[in-house]
Amino acid sequence: MSNFLPSVQSFLKGSAATAAGLSTVGVGLLLFGQNWLIYPSAFPPGSRTEVPLPTQFGLPFEDLELVTSDDIKIRCYLMLQRRDVDPIDNSGNTTREDADEEFASFRPTVIMFHGNGGNMGHRIPLAKVFYTKMRCNVLMVSYRGYGHSEGSPSEKGIRIDAQTALDYVTSNPTLNRTPIVLYGQSIGGAVSIDLASRNPSIIRALILENTFLSLPRLVPSALPPLAPFAFLCHQKWDSASKIPLIPPTTPILMLSGARDEVVPKQHMFELWKLVRAREGERKENRRAEEGVKEEEMEEEVQDVRTGGGSRFVNFPQGTHNDTCVQQGYWMIVAEFVARLGRSSGEAA
């Protein structure tokens, strides 16, 4: 689920291939070692110690250490917007820092939740697009057990980490007035959906890339022989049950790679149906009334919008790890973010 890790399927198969019995070892891994499989924070090698810095990419930042409610220290990168030119103030009372903070307070704030491999430093090039092209404030979150953050990753723990990051933004005097956008790739999409479902009045919008309905529902495609044992997966990340809890006024941009080899594209299609149902949307494709099979219609879905501002975009050549570099991806994201600013009356 990251650009720096083999697919879940190949990883699971590789582990099982060294065992005497695929089913026996696989079930054992599902039951006892699934956290290790789901959150491989040490891959690629060096990911726990070598975390790139935003300054290596020409970005100003603050290295934050946040303490969670269960007393775990997690690391984050905060990039606050700045004005390009020093403001001229004849009164002499306005400093560059004051002007920068005022400007930042009118820009959207993007909280980034990464995939399950590597660390937040590996995603700085994506943060740079948000920061330099869209002029967003950016908060990059390192889950517990990842990079330089303390602890061990788990669904319960990462949910706390995400809430800690959001609480920081809402309590920050510069950021607490900004529209908050969650950006999540793969398992980061599940983290975003969960956080938005628990904070329905705070999150302005979500941007989700190649995420899944739930982890148990991903097991059959990741390792078909273990499908009967999917119930043993105690790390749920059940996004399907949480999408309906997100208010219909919260627009969601869904970016799907049609050639995703890790998360079957049907997961994104099914989540999209839930997004539309949440907004009270009904199928408008007249071919549905003509008896065309649903899976055939899915093949034709490329770019669909709802009246509530949500949007589904399918990238025909996108795989799990390279959808974010497909042609048009960032133009679509930029348009989505810009529409948020216009609809909320924010300064351009």
Q: Tell me if residue 89 is catalytic.
A: no
Separation CA 48–CA 68 (nearest Å): 19
The catalytic position among 114, 122, 267, 320 is 320
Q: Are 44 and 4 in contact (CB under 8 A)?
A: yes
The SS3 call for residue 208 is strand
Collect all residues with Cβ–Cβ distance below 8 Å to 218 and sequence separation of at least 6: 8, 212, 263, 267
Distance, in Å, from the CA atom of 197 to the CA atom of 157, rounded to the nearest integer, reads: 17
Q: Measuring CA to CA, which residue among 310, 336, 314 is closest to residue 323?
A: 314
Of 140, 131, 112, 113, give the one whose Cα is nearest residue 53: 140
Q: Is 320 a catalytic residue?
A: yes
CA-CA distances (angstroms) from residue 338 to 27, 226, 309, 325, 332? 47, 44, 12, 20, 10
Site of tokens 């790139």: 52
Give the C-alpha separation, 248 to 253, whole Å. 13
**Among residues 2, 41, 142, 186, which one is catalytic?**
186
- Catalytic-role residue among 100, 161, 194, 260: 260
Q: Active-site residue 260, yes or no?
A: yes
**Token pair for 217:** 């529902």
The residues assigned a catalytic role are 186, 260, 320
